[in-house]
Structure 1
């Protein structure tokens, strides 16, 4: 695997700040940099849940607060801006917080870097800046941003705005020192790996509660994933490619990052389902039906969310991301960064869950089965009614 190739003596002089550094990916990146001898500071709203080496500094703060960001970036050589909000589940429905973290938070990070002489910034973006439910096969970085009004969710829209701001800031003169700010953006696929806490536990909970009883979309639909260690490698390489030694090769550029192996979303998770002792669903439903159910769920959440902030089974964006073909070429990342994704599978993920007591249970929840059956009935009735003529028309 390609990695950050810097001599230890030089590495010791470098200092990295990771916003969102206590999350799954951020902490994994911090651990990798630390092993290479770098000075690492974690900036996050909550302390890390893992044991942190004494030489890694944790600073509790919020990217929405400029004073806190300004203090954290002081004396830093490179910032990895990972912090974001609203990627999945009910978080996607909190538009105000999404806007504040993803847009205003990124503006704060950029301003602090410029005012305090930080010369490099690597931004963690998303596939979603170009994808909004349309089929994309082997797309590359020449694809235009999806028009903002076409994004089906606020997270994707705000990540687009943030990425645009980051790339536009490339070449901006630094105020407190000579030189300019060099920036780049990485657009990762869905992240997986042992211990991932955002998506995989939710999927496993659906499996164990008997909710995962169907798949949807065409069997030929393809999406992509990226193992956390491949994503770590890509970020390290991108940061290195911003240096003068690498001729600022990645400056002002965006890169799609994945394992480079397009796969049907549900087939990707088959080893997890069967590895935990559950049968893989045989029922296949159309994307349009599941999208409609997701729409109804979001409307219900909008009405009762202020009183009961329940977790939607799926959001509309999640339906598109899992049921509609979209995958991208890694050629630019390989050419500019030297990125070479290593092959991984879900075996280590299955082992991680099994080691924590997950696996086939004797009986699935009656309430879960009743909830899902009721959901199907409501969706079916709604679809039927939508085809009936309107009285008086």
Structure 2
């Protein structure tokens, strides 16, 4: 059961990087819901979207990689807590990914250490333990981090390097506490990667096809549950901070630790988009779905990648997408349950309903806007 504002004291002044982004604005909203009087500052490259009307929230445009400017802002605001969600899209150029996710995180850590921040919660990714050679079956935090040449996604490598820097900074100085949250497959209102692509496939009639036999379990996580985990981490770090210089038992410790977070409901991969398509109006019986083999689609993905590379375009389907749709990839969240008191607050099916409803509402608004312009 989620902790209410009456059960947990206000975390003080909280600064959220990327607070106008997908996950970031959900964290801001949940923070205000639980602690209506708390002071929240949002630092983002552009703060024009997903803004809260709550007078306790202030917005600041800024570049994390500009350490001097960030330090000047921190000296002015004096935040006690930093929740670091800012990150480019995973398809951004490598130099941008490294500059923001690695250099930007290190600069933010240094500024936080130098200006008296007590608690630093970093948004990492469950993919940091993704091994392209092996499936992930009930994987936990004991799995090794995979980066560099062994990691096919450069985005994930930068997440590994950033998380490692965050955890290494714990208790330096002794009053500075850090931890990392590793969410898997985030979706929900404002999602720009998962549900929009799935619904786009449905609107194009591509829901009639399935790659593989759908025997691979996969984890998806509703965004509000991820926000919930971040706030639990903040509370845990601040509770530890009050007891300094003592150090919790290893079995209870949160500072210096990473936590995998999911909905705790792994499903067969194709069951997730089918549920989304159903919410969008799909009535196609499963018997009418065409099954395409993994091997065949890997060849198709390879050919599409080559053709689009020659044309300077991005393919609608690539080998990595084919692989992900057929691989088992789910996680063990017992550590987050034991040490953070984490328990998903929104079930998977309800999260899908909310996410799909949001997209359909946005499509309707856009259609109404186009119609209104035509009538002018």
Q: Distance in 2 between matches of 1:200 and 1:233?
A: 20
- Which of 354, 358, 362 aligns to 1:352? It is 358
Structure-2 residue corresponding to 1:122: 121
Asked if the contact 2:269–2:325 (Cα under 8 Å) also holds between the matched residues in 1, the reply is yes
How has the CA–CA distance of structure 1 residues 70 and 6 changed in structure 2, closer, same or farther, with 3 Å as cutoff?
A: farther
Mean alpha-carbon deviation: is it higher for 277-286 or for 219-228?
277-286
How has the CA–CA distance of structure 1 residues 323 and 209 changed in structure 2, closer, same or farther, with 3 Å as cutoff?
A: same
How has the CA–CA distance of structure 1 residues 77 and 86 changed in structure 2, closer, same or farther, with 3 Å as cutoff?
A: same
Asked if the contact 2:233–2:340 (Cα under 8 Å) also holds between the matched residues in 1, the reply is yes
How has the CA–CA distance of structure 1 residues 274 and 7 changed in structure 2, closer, same or farther, with 3 Å as cutoff?
A: closer
SS in 2 for 1:242: helix
How has the CA–CA distance of structure 1 residues 217 and 4 changed in structure 2, closer, same or farther, with 3 Å as cutoff?
A: farther
SS in 1 for 2:117: coil
After superposition, residues 210-289 of structure 1 pair within 5 angstroms as: 210-243=205-238, 244=240, 245=242, 249-278=253-282, 279=284, 282-289=289-296
Q: Distance in 1 between matches of 2:108 and 2:299?
A: 38
How has the CA–CA distance of structure 1 residues 167 and 319 changed in structure 2, closer, same or farther, with 3 Å as cutoff?
A: farther
How has the CA–CA distance of structure 1 residues 77 and 204 changed in structure 2, closer, same or farther, with 3 Å as cutoff?
A: same
Asked if the contact 1:81–1:123 (Cα under 8 Å) also holds between the matched residues in 2, the reply is yes
After superposition, residues 30-179 of structure 1 pair within 5 angstroms as: 30-35=28-33, 36=35, 37-52=37-52, 53-74=54-75, 75-87=78-90, 91=91, 94-133=93-132, 134-173=134-173, 179=174
- 1:63 Cα deviation after fit: 1.7
- 1:51 Cα deviation after fit: 4.3
Q: Distance in 1 between matches of 2:136 and 2:5?
A: 34
Structure-1 residue corresponding to 2:179: 184
SS in 2 for 1:218: coil
- 1:348 Cα deviation after fit: 2.3
Asked if the contact 2:25–2:51 (Cα under 8 Å) also holds between the matched residues in 1, the reply is no
Structure-2 residue corresponding to 1:335: 338
TM-score, normalization by structure 2: 0.83
Structure-2 residue corresponding to 1:209: 204
Asked if the contact 1:291–1:319 (Cα under 8 Å) also holds between the matched residues in 2, the reply is yes
SS in 1 for 2:263: coil
- 1:304 Cα deviation after fit: 4.9
Stretches of structure 2 that go unaligned for 5 or more consecutive residues are 365-376
SS in 1 for 2:348: coil
Q: Distance in 2 between matches of 1:72 and 1:200?
A: 36
Runs of 4+ in 1 over 6 A off after TM superposition: none
Asked if the contact 1:216–1:286 (Cα under 8 Å) also holds between the matched residues in 2, the reply is yes
- 1:70 Cα deviation after fit: 1.9
Do residues 20 (structure 1) and 18 (structure 2) align? Answer: yes
TM-score, normalization by structure 1: 0.80
Q: Distance in 1 between matches of 2:259 and 2:105?
A: 18
Asked if the contact 2:122–2:179 (Cα under 8 Å) also holds between the matched residues in 1, the reply is yes
